[in-house]
């Protein structure tokens, strides 16, 4: 029997695949919302093995080179020492730059190989995004032996510092210089290192060491970094987007109580907007995150500090345990560890000690105040990472539409992996299962408030070239991961610059590849701006969509917007 409006999932997949786009998305979103374990437990185990054996184990291994080292079993004596914290930062830089971190595994559409990273960054000819396109030597779109050599040099120098018994200015300075230099050659590498956090702390470690043991300037500087991360992350959540993030994240969370999941929605399965409970959770999370830095900075009691650190651990631990789809779990682990070390083990260090090194204080003012402030109010010019707008549901993003099998042209690129569809086809014998996996991709985007901008822009993007069902939907983040070797939700890595670089190498015909690029909402702004481009002919249209009315929309197009998808595109 055909699927009726009153039918509940699961649905016959062949019938869902045959539906027009608006109805298919309604059914897909219902199917997604019903999932009690959206992330297979085997995948969760795989990630936690990675965190335990590789991330923690690697850090513990490099700490064993420190002098003195009392032995692994005496973890209480070495884990919260100054050099252990410093090696945690260096290890995080190496780990993320290698591609092992937030851009690895099936949650980032990496099935085989499970990561790109160094497999891409050490390969001449791979695609990159230079900071200054077109300039001689540094402005090319394909990786040269110079790019490879500098990347390899930085990784080697980080390893050299990690195995050193003591850390010195001479050991730290080279990576401090090389990381931004790599960012000039390829913006991807600067962001992949999570430079907005770890490189800034590296600056504190490098230049805050000579002020005297009593001042411990580098610790004061690191405290300031942690506090501004919490502050800006909370500030970025002052929007209407964050409740949908909570709704999506908790519905995927393997440790969020199953009996509560349907209460994340206004009324499952018909009204899949975030419920009052999801909204309340979002507001409480924002309040807690905003309170943490102020409570720690004002604390004069060891007991109160311990209580705040316990709350902080619970806050980041809750995020880590519930495995958000971006998988920044290692980063949450570092936030917990660093918060405990900095504020719990150094209670006598004042952040005002940073004034003893004016140049470092000025450096922190630029990267922790000026750039995030500008990035929150003018997001089109600043990466959401540099603006510290973490997981707020308000990011730039793009959706790439490939007509027919035109996505196979991406195989003209030098890269570490084939497309997501080809990876799945190599793992699954059932073509319907592959189609289902690809069909589910839009649901996560549309369930977020920002995704509803697509209701009006998809018909504009594809209307003259064919029906939406003639195209395969691919998230720009997945395209960036394929073409650039790294992805972590930054839509600025999959915008016009990437499209032009791919077109130069792949040569799509007019109408074969259309891209919708949506910019994030400025802090306290009312709209999200968007562009529509064709790979062959360039920019086609641009405009703005007001956010407030989208709160009333379902994840799937309805009414006149749904009719725009089914209207004859040649009328």
335's CB contacts (< 8 A; 6+ apart) are 226, 229, 312, 316
Does residue 437 contact residue 20 with C-beta atoms inside 8 Å? no
Cα separation of 307 and 105, whole Å? 35
Q: Which two structure tokens, joined as six digits, stand for 259?
A: 């009996």
Which tokens sit at 334?
A: 């570092």
Give the gyration radius of the chain's Cα atoms: 24
Q: What is the pLDDT of residue 214?
A: 46
Arithmetic mean of pLDDT, 304-326: 87
Q: Is the model's pLDDT at 234 over the cut of 90?
A: yes
Distance of alpha carbon 189 from alpha carbon 183, whole angstroms: 6
Residue 329's pLDDT band, with cuts at 50, 70 and 90, is confident
**Region class of 487: left (phi > 0), else alpha (psi between -120 and 50), else beta:** beta
pTM (2 d.p.)? 0.93
| pLDDT greater than 50 at residue 570 | no
DSSP string, 187-230: HHHHHHTTTTTHHHHHHHHHHSSTT-TTT-HHHHHHHHHHHHHH
Inter-residue contact 481 to 116 (CB < 8 Å): yes
Determine how β-strand 397-403 pairs with β-strand 513-518: antiparallel
Least confident of 224-238, 245-259, 467-481: 245-259
CA gap 480, 191 in Å, rounded: 13
Predicted pLDDT of residue 568: 47
Cis peptide before 113 (omega within 30 of 0): yes
What confidence tens digit (pLDDT) does each residue in 107-144 have?
677 777 878 889 999 999 999 999 999 999 999 999 99
554 Cβ neighbours under 8 A, 6+ residues apart: 26, 29, 271, 272, 273
> Quick count: other Cβ atoms within 10 Å of Cβ 344?
16
Count H helices, E strands: the chain?
Answer: 25, 7
Length of the chain counted residue by residue: 571
pLDDT for position 256: 84
The tally of CA atoms less than 13 A away on the side-chain side of residue 209 is 17
99 close to 115: Cβ distance less than 8 angstroms = yes
Q: Report the pLDDT value the prediction gives residue 215, as an integer from 0 to 100.
A: 57
- Of 241, 281, 216, nearest to 389 by C-alpha is 241
Give the model confidence (pLDDT) of 478-521 as tens digits: 999 999 999 888 899 999 999 999 999 999 999 999 999 999 99
Cα separation, 157 vs 452, whole angstroms: 45
Contact 92, 334 (CB under 8 A): yes
């Amino acid at each position: 029997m055909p699927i009726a409006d009153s039918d509940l999932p699961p649905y016959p997949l062949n019938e869902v695949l045959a539906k027009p786009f608006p109805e298919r998305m309604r059914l897909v979103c219902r199917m997604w919302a019903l999932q009690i374990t959206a992330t297979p437990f085997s995948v969760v185990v795989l990630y936690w093995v990675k965190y335990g054996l590789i991330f923690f184990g690697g850090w513990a291994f490099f700490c064993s080179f420190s002098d003195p080292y009392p032995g692994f079993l005496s973890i209480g004596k070495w884990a919260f020492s100054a050099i252990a914290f410093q090696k945690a930062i260096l290890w995080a830089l190496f780990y993320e730059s290698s591609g092992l971190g937030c851009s690895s595994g099936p949650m980032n559409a990496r099935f085989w190989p499970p990561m790109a990273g160094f497999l891409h960054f050490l390969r001449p000819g791979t695609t990159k995004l230079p900071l200054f396109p077109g300039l001689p030597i540094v402005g090319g779109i394909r990786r040269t032996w110079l790019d490879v050599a500098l990347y390899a040099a930085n990784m080697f120098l980080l390893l050299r510092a990690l195995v050193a018994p003591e850390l010195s200015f001479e050991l730290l300075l080279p990576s401090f210089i090389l990381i931004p230099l790599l960012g000039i050659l390829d913006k991807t590498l600067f962001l992949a290192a999570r430079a907005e956090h770890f490189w800034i702390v590296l600056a504190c470690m490098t230049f805050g060491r000579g002020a005297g043991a009593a001042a411990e300037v580098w610790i004061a500087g690191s405290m300031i970094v942690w506090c501004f991360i919490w502050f800006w992350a909370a500030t970025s959540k002052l929007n209407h987007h964050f409740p949908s993030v909570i709704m999506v994240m908790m519905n995927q969370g393997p440790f969020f109580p199953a009996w509560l999941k349907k209460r994340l929605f206004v009324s499952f399965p018909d009204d899949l907007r975030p419920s009052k409970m999801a909204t309340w959770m979002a507001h409480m999370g924002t309040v807690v995150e905003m309170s943490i830095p102020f409570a720690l900075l004002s604390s004069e009691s060891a007991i109160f500090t311990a209580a705040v650190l316990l709350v902080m651990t619970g806050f980041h631990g809750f995020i880590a345990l519930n495995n958000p789809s971006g998988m920044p779990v290692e980063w949450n682990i570092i936030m917990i560890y660093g918060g405990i070390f900095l504020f719990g083990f150094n209670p006598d260090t004042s952040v005002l000690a940073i004034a003893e090194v004016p140049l470092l204080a000025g450096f922190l003012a630029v990267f922790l105040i000026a750039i995030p402030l500008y990035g929150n109010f003018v997001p089109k010019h600043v990466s959401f990472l540099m603006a510290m707008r973490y997981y707020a549901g308000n990011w730039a993003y793009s959706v790439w539409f490939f007509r027919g099998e035109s996505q196979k042209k991406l195989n003209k690129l030098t890269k570490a992996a084939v497309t997501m569809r080809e990876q799945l086809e190599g793992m699954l014998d059932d073509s319907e299962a592959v189609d289902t996996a690809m069909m589910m991709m839009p649901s996560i985007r549309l369930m977020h408030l920002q995704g509803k901008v697509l209701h009006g822009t998809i018909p504009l993007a594809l209307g003259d070239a064919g029906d939406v069902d003639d195209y395969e939907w691919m998230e720009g983040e997945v395209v960036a991961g394929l073409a650039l070797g790294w992805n972590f939700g930054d839509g600025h890595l999959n915008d016009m610059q990437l499209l032009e670089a791919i077109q130069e190498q792949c040569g799509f015909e007019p109408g074969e590849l259309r891209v919708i690029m949506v910019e994030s909402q400025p802090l306290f702004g009312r709209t999200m701006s968007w562009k529509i481009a064709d790979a062959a002919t360039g920019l086609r249209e641009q405009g703005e969509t007001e956010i407030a009315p989208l709160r009333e929309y379902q994840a799937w197009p309805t009414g006149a917007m749904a009719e725009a998808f089914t209207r004859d595109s040649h009328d």
